[in-house]
Structure 1
Amino acid sequence: IGALEMACWDIVGKATGRPVYDLLGGRVHEGLRSYTYLYPTDGDAYDPLAGPNL
């Protein structure tokens, strides 16, 4: 049902020329912070050209 509801919002947005977030009440945040934490388990897997960026 979620995909069908999203498709309906998309149809209404295209018909009115407005983005879906605007139809749902407008933008809430100017930006969102994100965080990632990925590293190889093998120390040799680091790229030697990455240098101080690790």
Structure 2
Amino acid sequence: TTIPKFKTGRPALRFHLFIQKLSFREQRLDQTRHFCLEARSRKNYRVNRIE
């Protein structure tokens, strides 16, 4: 992304990058949460099969 020289675009760009970073962090949190849930369900499935 090219940073505009005029000052009016700077805060908007910074805000846009901030939103991007937030959404990226949310995505990673969702991925890890999904992975944990998947692993837990797999573990429960294995335990249930043994029983």
User: Normalising by structure 1, what TM-score?
Assistant: 0.31
